[in-house]
Amino acid sequence: MTSLRLYQLPRQCLRWAGYRTLSTYTLRDAVQRGAPIDVHPEVQDALAHGQPVVALETTIVTHGMPYPTNLTTARSVEKNVRANEAIPATIGLIQGRVKIGLRPAELERLADVETNTDVVKVSRRDIGATIALKKDGGTTCSATLIFAVLAGIKVFATGGLGGVHRGGENTMDVSADLHELSRCSVGLVSAGVKSILDIGRTLEYLETLGVPVVSYGETNDFPAFYTRKSGFKSPWQVSDPASAARILHSQQQLGMSNGTLFAVPIPEKYEAVGQKLQESVEVALAEAEQKGINRLGKEATPWLLKRVGELTEGKSLASNVALIENTARVGARIAKAYSQLAKDMGMSGPQTDNDMSRSEISTSAFRTLLQSTSEGADKASTHSPPNKPAGRLVVVGASAIDITSQANTDDPSVSLHSTVPGTVTTSLGGVARNMAEAAHRMLTSASSALEDATVLVSPIGRDAFGKMLVNETEQLGMRSDGFLHVNDGRTAVCNMVLDGSGGLTGGVADMDIVQSVSATQVLDIIRVHEPKIIAVDGNLGEDTVQAIVEHSTREDIQVFFEPTSVVKSTRVLPAVKASIDTLNGNRPPIAYISPNILELSSIYQAVRTNDLTAHDAWWRIIDDMAVGSEFRLDLEHLARRDACETNRDKGTLSFLVNDGVAQMAINLLPFFQHIIIKCGQLGVIVVFRAEKGSPWSQERTNIRSRQVVAHGKTGQSLVLKHYPARLLDVSSIVNVTGAGDSLVGSLLASLVQAPRSFQDSAELDRIVGIAQKAAIATLQSRLAVAPSLSTLFQLRM
* Of 269 and 335, the one with more pLDDT: 335
Of 402-416, 569-583, 740-754, minimum mean pLDDT range? 402-416
Both ends of the chain: CA-CA distance in Å? Answer: 84
Angle (deg, nearest 10), helices 176-183 and 199-209: 30
List, in sequence order, every beta strand (DSSP E) within 657-795.
672-678, 684-690, 707-711, 717-723
- For residues 518, 519, 520, 526, the Cα torsion angle rounded to the nearest 10 degrees is 120
pLDDT over 70 at 519, yes or no: yes
Q: How many C-beta atoms lie closer than 10 Å to residue 118's C-beta?
A: 10
What is the percent of the chain with per-residue pLDDT over 90, rounded to a whole number? 53
CA proximity to 122, closest of 93, 97, 100? 93
Q: What are phi and psi of 631, to 5 degrees?
A: -65, -45
**pLDDT range class, residue 21, cuts 50, 70, 90:** very low
pLDDT at site 362: 30
pLDDT, one tens digit per residue, over 482-509 is 999 998 889 999 887 877 766 667 788 8
pLDDT at site 772: 94
As to burial, measured by CB atoms within 10 angstroms (0-12 exposed, 13-18 middle, 19+ buried), residue 494 is: buried
* Vertex 323 angle, CA 318 and 328, to 5°: 130
Sheet with 504-510: strands ordered across: 422-429, 400-407, 493-498, 504-510
**pLDDT range class, residue 552, cuts 50, 70, 90:** very high
pLDDT over 60 at 568, yes or no: yes
pLDDT, one tens digit per residue, over 306-361 is 777 677 666 678 888 999 999 999 999 999 999 999 888 766 444 444 444 333 32
Rounded Cα–Cα distance for residues 702 and 708 (Å): 6
In this prediction the pTM is 0.54
pLDDT, one tens digit per residue, over 469-481 is 998 888 788 999 9
What CA–CA distances, in Å, run from 396 to 459, 518, 535, 609? 9, 11, 6, 28
Q: What are phi and psi of 16, to 5 degrees?
A: -130, 0
pLDDT, one tens digit per residue, over 104-121 is 888 999 999 888 889 999
Of 82-86, 269-273, 710-714, minimum mean pLDDT range? 269-273
pLDDT over 50 at 367, yes or no: no
pLDDT over 90 at 760, yes or no: yes
pLDDT, one tens digit per residue, over 124-168 is 999 999 999 999 999 999 999 999 999 999 999 999 898 887 776
pLDDT at site 508: 84
The three-state (H, E, C) secondary structure of 180-234, written as one string: HHHHCCCEEEECEECCCECHHHHHHHHHHHCCCEEEECCCCECCECCECCCCCEC
- Give catalytic residues, as residue numbers: 57, 194
pLDDT, one tens digit per residue, over 153-207 is 999 999 989 888 777 677 677 888 999 999 999 999 999 887 778 899 999 999 9
Neighbouring-strand partners of residue 98 = 37, 93
DSSP 8-state symbol, 164: B
Rounded Cα–Cα distance for residues 249 and 272 (Å): 36
**pLDDT range class, residue 413, cuts 50, 70, 90:** low
Q: Contact, 746 vs 790, CB < 8 A?
A: no
Rounded Cα–Cα distance for residues 311 and 276 (Å): 11
